[in-house]
Amino acid sequence: MTPDLRPIGGPVVPLRQFVLKLHSRCDLACDHCYVYEHQDSSWRGRPGAASDAVLRAAAARIAEHARSHALPVVYVVLHGGEPLLAGHELLRRAAEILHRALDGVAELDLCVHTNGVRLDEAFCELFLHYGIRVGISLDGDRRANDLHRRYRNGRSSHAEVMRAVQLLKRPRYRHLFAGLLCTVDVRNDPRQVYDALVELAPPQLDFLLPHATWDRPPLRPEGVRTPYADWLRVVHERWEEDGRAVPVRIFESLHQALAGGRSRSESFGLEPVDLVVIEVDGTLEQADSLKTAFDGAPATGLDVFADSFDEIAAHPGILARQQGLDGLCRQCRDCPVVRACGGGLYAHRYRSEPGGGGFDHPSVYCDDLLDFIGGLEAADAARTARRTGPSGTAAPVHALVLREEQFAELAQGPGSAEAVQALAESQGELNRGLLARVIGLCPDDQVPRLLTALDAQAPAALDAVLAQPFVQYWLRGCLDLPGGFRGADVEAALARTAAAAVLHAGWHRPVPVPVRRNGVLSLPTWGRVVFDRIPGDPVPVDLPPSADPATALADWAERVGGRWEPLRRLVVDGTVGVALEDTDPAAGMLPVERPDESGFAAWEAALREAWRIVGARLPAYAGGLAAGLRSIVPQRPGAPGEEVSGTPRYGFGAVGIARPVSAERLALLLVHELQHVKLDALLDLDRFCLPDAEVLIPVGWRPDPRPPEGVLQGVYAHLAVMDYWMSRARSDADPDALRRHERLRSEVTAAAEQLRGSRALTDIGSQFLEWIEMRLKLTD
């Protein structure tokens, strides 16, 4: 029996994803497995493992295809069966053959997907050497996982899988951990499943609907119309409550598709499929999920020995999944969520009824998808409406990232650690948006493609770089936005960002980075190389595949003719480290000469004591300080008795401070400047002051009158200074501290009253000031 497929004209879409089967058997007997438990039986006639001849032919064909289509990156997933059954030596040979074939042709993104039960240190060392990331299948806690993922004798596999996950979480292997894949079973409690998976702190999660067709429909509890939508909705709500703490591929794919972007999943969206499977005997097949439709459904009649990947890319079965909206049935084309849903997974559309056989049907999960995606679309539309307001005017964007109580906490002064963390995440999203705009300006596509690959495959690594306070300084400069570096070079900024993220991801991807005219090559979050003689060409950041960047960068810098200066972190306690940023400064915050070891030790001692003071006297600020302070830029001291501190407008988490004479003063400066850090992040979310307000308002702490936003900054920052002096008055019974507090409270109250009377605030600005005034009344 064959599906109703027909040749379709048009150019071949190049293949970028290759699933390479290393072993055709499995050591588990999962009853929901589409390879062994569904309709296809082709595995029975295949050898147990791939031969070297198959591996060499597959690698040569992949390289041929990449060269022909100028692909910068190809993605290869080592799969099965259970790929670890192939053993250490076969896996090693597969990695070597692939790397050798693609050397100089395209970057190789190599991953293995496993049930985890055989994962050991020897495998991890092998993966470390070849840069192979590891994805693991796990359906939740032991009870959930045992519903399906058992050995043939019925024994649970959960303990072995948990051991594998803990092994991957070791610092040495953590960057290899690609994520967890969970197959949904609606009999499992969705909250318990989500919590059990998130507790393992994976870099990514994905939820997979169990493979089913109209001939073999999925489990549906009696009387429940959309059980899978209901299950996913609970998990999505939990995910939102957690602040999207872990990337969840299914949810992010749907949100992106609903916003008009590309889906990250084969299961959704209208993007052309670019995946092919290479079986252990070298035969070329369509996606494995088709095995759930009928016996032989993925077959193409092609193999790596006789056929090129251009030929498999032109196969009718592949082409049928590349037609976008035109490739769907009439019911799907008329559906309101079709551009996000994409008709669901191709295999799930199969029906074998006489006269209606094939894949020209809605998904067997159609009702669930319509219900769930429709709900997401309505929620996203409501958020958009809140952003623009009923009349199209600006409305509180903070609703997207802050709960109402968090907004109130922040407005009254300290703000919880969770609220400040939400602001940090909003800054990360802002930087991602700026990065996307800068990528659009880049004349070359090599580094942009690498950044896109990092975003898809190692988002945590890219996030780590985008969280560096001064990355925004360079990105804004590339876009000629206020607060950016004038004349910033697009290619240089992207290269620095990509190279730093590659190091965090543990990838072996050489990235050429230009050296600035001052002889400095900076890598955000890592440090800088200083050259006595400026190289004429970009310098490739290229570490050995298994190198630890923290220890290997100095050797690399020496090889390229420079001197490595690492970014040093002031260790406050066992959990908090603050960068002493003297390697990548922002405008107006140029650091003093790099402190030597004794100077660094003095900074660390002062910060530890200041941190202790904040925790003891101002505990309400301690959590926000830990969540919001990322870098201290050491500044040049002022005149005797003058304290020097400041905050860059576009550099969340950074403060510039000249080390004061005492830890007491450092504690005061930290909480003062943290207020500016928080308010700047809030102002990036929404406008608090009317743009055409030209009024100037006198304030008690400066001789010159200030514009409305400057007054708001001063009022907000001095709430923390008031709290500091009150804590001194209480702890030391210091009458001078109490007098300082009272004078400052009077000045702040007067300034707040004049600011409100100026009518220069927007609605959200007025709401913010209202909370501040409420706080001031409580101190009467």
User: For 616, what's the count of Cα atoms within 13 Å in the CB-facing half-sphere?
Assistant: 12
Return the ∠ at Cα 166 (arms to 161 and 168), rounded to 5°: 95
Q: What is the DSSP letter of 584?
A: S
Model confidence pLDDT, tens digit, residues 355-386: 666 888 999 999 999 999 999 888 766 554 44
Per DSSP, the three-state class of 393 is coil
User: 274 with 13: CB under 8 angstroms?
Assistant: yes
- CA 265 – CA 252 distance, rounded (Å): 9
Domain ends where: 332, 353, 368? 368
Token match 């991953």: residue? 111
Confidence band of 479 (pLDDT split at 50, 70, 90): confident
Distance CA 202, CA 135 (A): 10
What residues pair up with 736 in beta bridges, in sequence order?
A: none
404: CB partners within 8 A, 6+ apart: none
pLDDT at 483: 78
Q: At 8, is the pLDDT very low, low, confident or very high (cuts 50, 70, 90)?
A: very low
Q: How many other CB atoms are there within 10 angstroms of residue 322's CB atom?
A: 18
Q: Is the dihedral of CA 661, 664, 667, 673 positive or negative?
A: negative
Residue-wise pLDDT tens digits, 153-188: 889 999 999 999 999 988 788 888 999 999 999 999
Tally of domains within the chain:
2
- pLDDT tier, 3 (very low <50, low <70, confident <90, very high otherwise): very low
Of the candidates 56, 100, 108, which has an alpha carbon nearest to the alpha carbon of residue 77? Answer: 108
DSSP designation for 577: E
Residue 404, domain member (yes or no): no
Rounded CA separation 440/435 (Å): 9
| Structure confidence at residue 135 as a pLDDT band (50, 70, 90) | very high
CB 29 within 8 A of CB 89: no
Give the contacts of 111 (CB within 8 A, at least 6 positions apart).
75, 76, 77, 78, 132, 133, 134, 135, 178, 457
In a domain, 117, yes or no: yes
Question: Domain range holding 714?
Answer: 691-780
Tell me 175's DSSP state.
Answer: G
Decide: 365 and 373 in contact? Cβ < 8 Å: no
Tokens of 389: 């307001």
The enclosing H or E element of 684 equals: helix 663-685
Cβ-based burial of 37 (10 A; exposed 0-12, middle 13-18, buried ≥19):
middle
Q: According to DSSP H, which parts of 80-213 are helical?
A: 87-102, 121-130, 142-145, 158-168, 190-198
Rounded Cα distance, 707 and 687, in Å: 14
Longest dimension (CA), the chain: 93
Quickly state the pLDDT bin for 94 (edges 50, 70, 90): very high
Answering whether pTM is above 0.85, one says no
Contact 641, 669 (CB under 8 A): no
Residue 420, in any domain of the structure: no
Q: What is the DSSP letter of 648?
A: -
> What sign does the dihedral 235-274-77-85 (CA atoms) show?
positive
Share of the chain above pLDDT 90, in %: 49
- Domain end, chosen from 368, 394, 427, is at 368
More confident: 240 or 312: 312
Helix (H) or strand (E) holding 558: helix 549-559
Whole-number Å distance between alpha carbons of 494 and 524: 11
pLDDT of 381 reads 67
User: 53-57, 419-423, 441-445, 467-471 — which one is most confidently predicted on average?
Assistant: 53-57
List of residues 6+ apart from 162 with CB closer than 8 A: none
Q: Within a domain: residue 707?
A: yes
- 490 in Cβ contact with 480 (< 8 Å): no
- Among 368, 401, 418, the domain-final residue is 368
Please tell me the predicted confidence (pLDDT) of residue 587: 47
CA atoms in the 13 A half-sphere facing the CB of 281 = 12
- Please determine, for residue 20, whether its predicted confidence score (pLDDT) is greater than 90: yes
- Residue 329 domain-assigned? yes
pLDDT at residue 340 tops 60? yes
Give the Cα separation of 607 and 659 in Å (integer): 9
* Whole-number Å distance between alpha carbons of 83 and 115: 9
Contact 195, 147 (CB under 8 A): no
Contact 49, 23 (CB under 8 A): yes
Tell me whether residue 673 is in a domain.
no
Which among 236, 222, 137, 213 has a CA at the least distance from the CA of 187? 222
Domain containing residue 162: CATH number = 3.20.20.70
Q: In angstroms, how far is CA 450 from the centroid of its own chain?
A: 15
Q: Kindly report, residue by residue over 533-549, the tens digit of the pLDDT.
A: 888 889 999 888 778 89
Helices (H) and strands (E) in the chain, counts: 26, 19
Q: What is the tens place of the pLDDT at every residue in 724-773? A: 999 988 887 778 889 999 999 999 999 999 999 998 888 888 989 999 99
Considering Cα of 59, then 347, then 459, then 183, what sign does the dihedral take?
negative
Instruction: State the residue for tokens 């198959």.
Output: 54
Residue pair 737/728 in contact by the 8 Å Cβ criterion = yes
DSSP single-letter state for residue 103: T
d(CA 322, CA 12): 10
- On whether residue 408 sits in a domain, the answer given is no
- Whether the pLDDT of residue 388 is over 60: the answer is no
Token couple for 66: 């990449």
Q: What is the pLDDT of residue 734?
A: 78
- Give the C-alpha distances (Å, rounded to integers) separating 356 from 46, 330, 352, 744: 32, 14, 7, 80
Long-range Cβ contacts of 610-614 (<8 Å, 24+ apart): 610/663, 610/664, 610/666, 610/667, 610/670, 611/572, 611/573, 611/576, 611/667, 613/663, 613/664, 613/667, 614/667, 614/670, 614/671
pLDDT confidence of residue 638: 78
Tokens read off for 212: 């089913």
Structure tokens at 173: 């292997």
Q: Mean pLDDT score of the chain, rounded to an integer?
A: 87
Q: Are 512 and 538 in contact (CB under 8 A)?
A: yes
SS3 569: strand
pLDDT at 9 over 50: no
Q: What is the 3-state secondary structure (H, E, C) of 44-79?
A: HHCCCECCHHHHHHHHHHHHHHHHHCCCCEEEEEEE
Classify 445 as helix, strand or coil.
coil
Query: So what's the pLDDT on residue 443?
Result: 78
- Least reliable range by pLDDT among 24-38, 422-436, 450-464, 752-766: 24-38
Contact 194, 239 (CB under 8 A): yes
Neighbouring CB atoms inside 10 A of 52's CB total 11
Cα–Cα distance measured from residue 34 to residue 40, given in angstroms and rounded to the nearest whole number? 8
At 578, is the pLDDT very low, low, confident or very high (cuts 50, 70, 90)?
Answer: very high
Residue 157, domain member (yes or no): yes
The answer on pLDDT for 396 being more than 50 is no
8-state DSSP, 761? B
